[in-house]
Structure 1
């Protein structure tokens, strides 16, 4: 009996399956980033504090602002819209420790220019752009005005002159050419609608409505983009 009982006990123990200990329980391993993967870039923003956008030809358009997050030595560019589309870089500056920049451009030719500021980014920072509006580059021109006594007459470029007609007369600019005029803080953009003035030294004749919009007197100097 003793021998058979020992054999039975041995057989039962051998048939019992092994139970895994808590030290060997399986868990899902954490994903491993691919070797050489770039870290995500921090987002950046450009702010514009001030823009000197009304200048005479030969003067400087000035844009001041700040790049965030702040840091010294980051390259910021001033860009001007090209006539056929796209942008032309006209100045660079590097930010100071507070992220501030000053960009300058001496505009040689008259006209209305689209202006923006750009930051190309770095390995740690994303790129950023910010529109700075339109800058207007003017020259001086002597002007007069006309209207009363001529209402109802035909204009050289078509149509009839009335007290509400907006536009200017010019000797040679093509009919329909848009001219931006600036006078003592006021600005209008009107088309060439007539020929004149026919007085030596005067470049533009303003209609009565254009004169009123500008707050212009009888004769004097205006600023023009043409």
Structure 2
């Protein structure tokens, strides 16, 4: 009797399995069909970083260097290099002095993408300098300022005048930075350069009145430059 019951139970279990298994399989198929392909791909590559299929473009950088202090009329050397180290690329050098950019030189890069060009500042003053590839794919940032000077005969003044008012309304002291000039308007900035040292100061007084001298330096200005009491320095009204 017990054997008969066990056989009957096995037949019922097989019959139920024949019904349930197809139902489960069909449900899984429906769920797979409803799942977005992006989720399927993600689940199939768990633990792996997605590949970046976009190729990154090469960024071309241009480094530029220039002589910062020179006499007007002399040659200024501008040099630099391409980050891609490509030879044969056309480089345009431009300068600006208060107005628009002007093309002053054009050269080609040589070995390792290096270039060197020369230009000549024709006027006294301060210039911005930059370079860029002729095809526009790279441009170097302006590298500071280039100052073109002229030679000027100078002397200095101060002792005996401290505490007095200058022609431009300043009270002169041992620490006053400035120059005296016969014609430049009061407050005009003047760049001064002497043996590697430089300072920019305003016109604060009138003078000098000795023949052939262009500026009188205050004692503080002379000391800042390390200039002699009388002599020749470089100057550039700005």
The two structures have a TM-score, normalised by structure 1, of 0.76
1:177 to 161, 181, 188: 188
Q: Does 1:46 align with 2:62?
A: yes
CA distance in 1, matches of 2:140, 2:67: 19
Q: Are residues 1:117 and 2:131 paired?
A: yes
The structure richer in strand per residue is: 1
Unaligned runs of 5+ in 2: 1-32, 38-54
Instruction: Tell me, in whole angstroms, the C-alpha distance in 2 between the residues paired with 1:102 and 1:159.
Output: 46
| 1:210 counterpart residue number | 221
Question: Could you tell me which of 64, 67, 78 is aligned with 1:63?
Answer: 78
Q: Is the 8 A contact 1:116 1:129 kept in 2?
A: yes
Alpha-carbon offset, residue 46 of structure 1: 1.0
Alpha-carbon RMSD? 2.0
Higher alpha-carbon Rg: 2
Higher helix share: 2
> How far apart in 2 are the matches of 1:182 and 1:136?
10
Cα displacement (A) at 1:131: 2.2
> What TM-score do the two structures reach when normalised by structure 2?
0.73
Gaps of 5+ in 1: 1-25, 29-38
What whole-Å deviation, never above 9, does each CA across 1:151-189 have from its counterpart, x for those lacking one? 111110112111111100000001110000001111000
Query: What SS does structure 2 have at the residue aligned with 1:212?
Result: helix
Query: What CA deviation, in whole Å up to 9, does each residue of 1:36-76 have, x standing for no partner?
Result: xxx9752101123x422211111111111111212222111
DSSP 3-state at the match of 1:132: coil
TM-superposed CA distance for 1:80, in Å, is: 1.0
* Map of 1:156 onto structure 2: 167
**How many residues align structurally?**
186
Distance across 2 between alignment mates of 1:185 and 1:164: 22
Give the corresponding residue for 1:93. Answer: 107
